Structure 1
């Protein structure tokens, strides 16, 4: 028989660490008066169950962003050579085709095929949503911001591994039970 509560959402350790990592990025970026969007996205992508999973998840995002960013800069530069005033936006269609094919090949070459999706996102943002005079700085900033977010999640995962948090939670439950006899948390799943 299935537990009635097994399908209910719960707030687990990974959930809390993801939120903490993204919030730290947002706070730091607001302090330096910079938009935290891509750092927060990198932080959420970079949080895994453990350091290995964080490296895989964050690596997907970071490697994809780097490949897509540099490729997007190169293709946008080609676009500006062919249409200096940016008057022929339709030229971006075949450049997108070429860019996605090259991106997939590069991701395979670097043995990181899961970087294709985040790389494609950055590639398309650069091609279709970046002003012509800021495409290089925009791409470079996205790479740096994503890296900051991924590193923040890896740092949080390193400083607060699941095993340590589970021990702390057990300790706090024991203390709470000592202070309030019969204390039983409604939810014991640590994930």
Structure 2
């Protein structure tokens, strides 16, 4: 069951509350600061910094273009169109995802929907946005950050159990193979691992990336061999070697597929690789515990 409120949601709420309370007396417009808090609160500190800095830079672009064109001729339809094209192009050049922020800032300033001097408005918007970004970064850094290393290793443990279940189905009679579930799990572990890489420079948790890399590689290899077995259609037989290895893992099973040493060489090759790499994966995960 999903939690009623996720940690990221809770941290966002706390960041907004603190922004409104602690900075309300010197922030001109809390709307911009609070919105920046929400945008900045991401899964990792690296992503938070990226989104926050883009927010500030986007505000700077919209404010600068709006201010310069306002000095030339305010509220001119043609200049307004040229101005927004400049804003869009600059966002493309700097690869910013904050086009909406840049556009709103530009339109508010150039079209005169402000209650102060254009330059003062531009600087105040940048300041307000920066305050929200800083507050979001602080709360995201100090409060309940996810342990992506442990989360990644836990995913590998789940994948290992899924491998074991699939191998059991293979040796019972190649029934109910579920390679799609394995693929989904591996992709999920890759996503968590990506967040671990983003977070590692900001984390105090001891991380052995070599174990993670090797575990992920083993998972991919085992998946490949299971997928290869899934594609085999004819009747399959176990070699004595594979039969003995399988019995060590599933010694409570009454009956496996028939043993014939000189049959099903492709099948037994893939099965042997699966058993070997499952053992290696188990050792790596055990090293982490």
Q: How many residues align?
A: 147
Give TM-score, length-normalised by structure 2.
0.46
Measure the CA separation in 2 of the matches of 1:59 and 1:117: 15
Q: Which residue of 1 aligns with 2:92?
A: 108
Is the Cα–Cα contact under 8 Å of residues 27 and 128 in structure 2 kept in the other structure?
Answer: no
Q: In the superposition, relative to structure 1, how do residues 33 and 125 fare at CA in structure 2: closer, same or farther (>3 Å)?
A: closer
Displaced runs of 4 or more, over 6 A: none
Q: Which residue of 1 aligns with 2:39?
A: 45
Unaligned runs of 5+ in 2: 151-289
| Correspondence for 1:149 among 102, 124, 132 | 132
Counterparts of residues 30-179 of structure 1 (less than 5 Å):
30-32=24-26, 34-80=28-74, 89=75, 91=76, 93-110=77-94, 112-128=95-111, 129-131=113-115, 134-163=117-146
Is the Cα–Cα contact under 8 Å of residues 36 and 145 in structure 1 kept in the other structure?
Answer: yes
Give TM-score, length-normalised by structure 1.
0.68
Q: Are 2:14 and 1:17 aligned? A: no
Q: In the superposition, relative to structure 1, how do residues 35 and 101 fare at CA in structure 2: closer, same or farther (>3 Å)?
A: closer
Root-mean-square deviation over aligned CA pairs? 2.3
Measure the CA separation in 2 of the matches of 1:35 and 1:108: 28
Unaligned runs of 5+ in 1: 81-88, 168-191
Higher relative contact order (CA 8 A, sep 6+): 1
Measure the CA separation in 2 of the matches of 1:59 and 1:67: 12
> Deviation string for 1:98-131 (max 9, x for gaps)?
1111112212222x23122211111111122124
Larger Rg: 2
